[in-house]
Amino acid sequence: MAAYAWLYCALALGATWYLQRYLRQRDAYSVLRNIPGPPSYSWAKGHINQYFNPRGQAFHEEVALNYGSVVKLDGMFGSKLFYVADPKALHTILIKEENTWEEPDAFLALNQLMFGDCLVGTLGEHHRRQRKMLNPVFSVNHMRHMLPIFYNVILKLREVILAKVKAGESEIDVLEWSGRAALELIGQGGLGYSFDPLLVNSESRNEYGDALKSCFPALSKVDILRRYAHYLIKMGPRWFRRSVVDMYPNPDVQNIKEVVDTMSAKSYEIFNQKKVALKRGDEAVLRQVGEGKDIMSILIKANTAASEDERLPESELIAQMSLLVFAATDTTSNTLARILQLLAEHQEIQVKLRDEILQSSAGGNDISYEELNRLPLLDAVCRETLRLFPPVTTLRRVPRKDSVLPLSEPIYGVDGRVINEIPVAKGTDVIIGTYGVNVRKQLWGEDSLEWKPERWLSPLPSAVTAAAIPGVYSNIMTFLGGKRACIGFKFSEMEMKVVLAVMLSTFTFERTEKVIQWNIAGVSYPTVEGNSQPQLPLKMGLYRP
């Protein structure tokens, strides 16, 4: 009898908790249901297949432009998610209530499984300590020290491409070499390690580089398991989970295991070499790739000098290594490829930009960080491309408790009522509307969907500057904002500028007959129509003044 009494009590408590939660969510959902959004034709799939779809650009545009700054979307099995592109609401999510709004559990758990306790796998105070240690190595001051490393790599890469062009190869896959550049720059500048000797007529293979490159494709093959990573990570101790993975009879899972093992082993190896060199002193450090100026070397030194309560365990420094390579490569190289495609399509801007570069000394290794950043058109071309084509458009956040999002401008509900703020129930799935803010016509004007670098050469519309867009970079949301914003945006900006300066002063770029399609993914990538392999062929020739 007593056992039944306990059971009834537990059921009553459970039912009360559920009812309270249901009532709270019902209130929030009634507001949410009133928010306009595109029609959905499938209860089971909602808009998921349209939004998270490589060919989803038209749908992204529809969501960003047709319904207002907050849009209701349907998730799977009747659930709702909503798309927020209102600057004030985003300020609440990313800055004011950043401790309430966190990344979804599955995202954090997957990053932990792949890299360990790194920036994209930790939260709250833990994340703050890591970020505090890492921020200085991404500062402008440190970028200045790294500029010569960047030029050395890119001038070497120029020789490789020059040899191809001189040998008569006119159609060249610019994505292939922007990818090689990005990997080698984060290798040398980030880890003090060379992935690719960049030799003429040799495509080098590197075990670590290959593992990193195959990570995303391998993960996409285990989509269902990925979604449940936050449950899997809690299944018993580490050794137990490892034995389950070892025995799991699925080639894709085994492939990911090998990729993660290789990344981890190589990160340990590089880290230990650095530690030994730093202990031996300056001579040994100078013999290392990066000569001790790379991010990891500086980080190891700073960590050793830090007070005990701020110092990070070695495992956490190592966890940042593969993450950095991972976060730095496709994002920047794909954006660079996009810029070159746009310059090939807008010859007049290509000519003006080349003139600007040639009038400075940006094409060679003889320019300061400040001078490089002062080239107005080069800056405008980068900013405009990052505005109109943010490569990462699937950023999510979930409130860990109920929250209210005030809006910069009221929106009209489906029933015609004015909505000034939106109550959001704990656990509601939110998509950060990066693209929505970046192309909002009320902010940028009727031509917001056009690529016009010149818009950055005169003062921006007052609507943009008054909107207090909470982005870390230049009134746009591409690198996000707040404490979890992209830590590497200055690294990325410098990389794009050095590559463009060196390449445009040497080569010309023209489009080919092939149709290029851009695919939305974790990081958007280009393909040629009829082929699923990422690539972006352009006609390249020698620039002859």
**Structure-token pair, residue 483:** 């404490």
The window from 14-22, 162-170, 442-450, 479-487 that contacts ligand HEM (CB under 6 A) reads: 479-487
477 close to 311: Cβ distance less than 8 angstroms: no
Residue 331 found at the interface with ligand HEM (CB under 6 A):
yes
195 interacts with ligand HEM by CB under 6 A: no
Nearest to 339 by CA among 217, 181, 226: 181
Residue 486 annotated as part of some ligand binding site: yes
Asked whether the beta carbons of 450 and 102 are under 8 A apart, the reply is no
N- to C-terminal Cα separation, the chain: 95
Q: Cβ 501 to ligand HEM, closest distance in Å?
A: 17
**Residue 131, interface with ligand HEM (CB under 6 A)?**
yes
Cβ contacts of residue 542 below 8 Å, gap of 6+? 162, 165, 166, 506, 507, 508
Instruction: Give the span between the Cα atoms of 153 and 22, in whole angstroms.
Output: 58
Of 183, 211, 215, 480, the one binding ligand HEM (CB under 6 A) is: 480
Binder to ligand HEM among 188, 262, 322, 332 (CB under 6 A)?
332
Output 250 or 315, the one with its CB closest to ligand HEM: 315
Using the contact rule CB under 6 A, the part of the chain among 226-234, 286-294, 389-397, 525-533 near ligand HEM is 389-397
Binding residue for ligand HEM, selected from 178, 188, 492, 508, defined by CB under 6 A:
492
Q: How many residues bind ligand HEM (CB under 6 A)?
A: 25
Binding range to ligand HEM, per CB under 6 A, among 245-253, 308-316, 401-409, 478-486: 478-486
**119 scored as a contact of ligand HEM (CB under 6 A):** yes
Q: How far is the CB of 115 from ligand HEM (least distance, A)?
A: 10
- SS3 readout for 63-83: HHHHCCCEEEEECHHHCEEEE
Burial track 268-298 (b if 16+ CB lie within 10 A, e otherwise): eebbeebbebbeeeeeebeebbbbbbbbbbb
Give which of 494, 472, 456 is closest to 380, Cα–Cα. Answer: 456
Q: Which residue, 32 or 143, has its beta carbon nearer to ligand HEM? A: 143
CA-to-CA separations, 46 to 59, 70, 214, 303, in angstroms, rounded: 13, 17, 30, 47
- Answer yes or no whether residue 508 interacts with ligand HEM by CB under 6 A: no
Residue type, 33: R
59 C-beta neighbours (distance < 10 Å), count: 18
Q: Which residues contact 18 (CB under 8 A, 6 or more apart)?
A: none
264 or 331, CB closer to ligand HEM?
331
Query: Can you tell me which of 479, 507, 518, 525 binds ligand HEM, judged by CB under 6 A?
Result: 479
CA-CA distance, 132 to 129, in Å (whole number)?
Answer: 5
Three-class SS state of 194: coil
**507 with 536: CB under 8 angstroms?**
no
Kindly tell me which residue out of 68, 209, 363, 391 binds ligand HEM, with binding defined by CB under 6 A: 391
498 lies in the site for ligand HEM, by CB under 6 A: no
Q: Does 120 bind ligand HEM (CB under 6 A)?
A: yes
By CB under 6 A, name the one of 486, 494, 504, 521 that touches ligand HEM: 486
When asked if residue 487 is in the footprint of ligand HEM (CB under 6 A), the reply is: yes
Nearer to ligand HEM, 69 or 332 (CB): 332
Kindly state the DSSP code that residue 370 receives in the 8-state scheme: H
What is the rounded distance in angstroms from the CA atom of residue 9 to the CA atom of residue 154? Answer: 69
Contact stretch for ligand HEM (CB under 6 A) within 229-237, 373-381, 390-398, 399-407: 390-398
CB atoms within 10 A of CB 456: 19
* Stretch in the footprint of ligand HEM (CB under 6 A) among 36-44, 256-264, 455-463, 487-495: 487-495
Nearer to ligand HEM by C-beta: 35 or 369?
369
Which residue, 327 or 502, is less far from ligand HEM as judged by CB? 327
Q: Which residues contact 280 (CB under 8 A, 6 or more apart)?
A: none
- Of residues 54 through 113, those in contact with ligand HEM by CB under 6 A are 103
Tell me whether residue 187 is exposed, middle or buried, using C-beta atoms within 10 angstroms of its C-beta: 0 to 12, 13 to 18, 19 or more.
buried
Q: Is 327 in the site for ligand HEM (CB under 6 A)?
A: yes
C-alpha R_g of the chain: 25
* Choices 153-161, 388-396, 456-464, 525-533; region in contact with ligand HEM by CB under 6 A: 388-396
Which residue, judged by CB position, is nearest to ligand HEM in the bound state?
488
- Give the nearest distance from C-beta 357 to ligand HEM in angstroms: 20
Structural tokens at position 328: 């730095």
Binding residue numbers for heme:
486
Binding residue numbers:
486
Residues making contact with ligand HEM (CB under 6 A) = 103, 119-120, 131, 186, 190, 323-324, 327-328, 331-332, 335, 391-392, 395, 478-480, 484, 486-488, 491-492
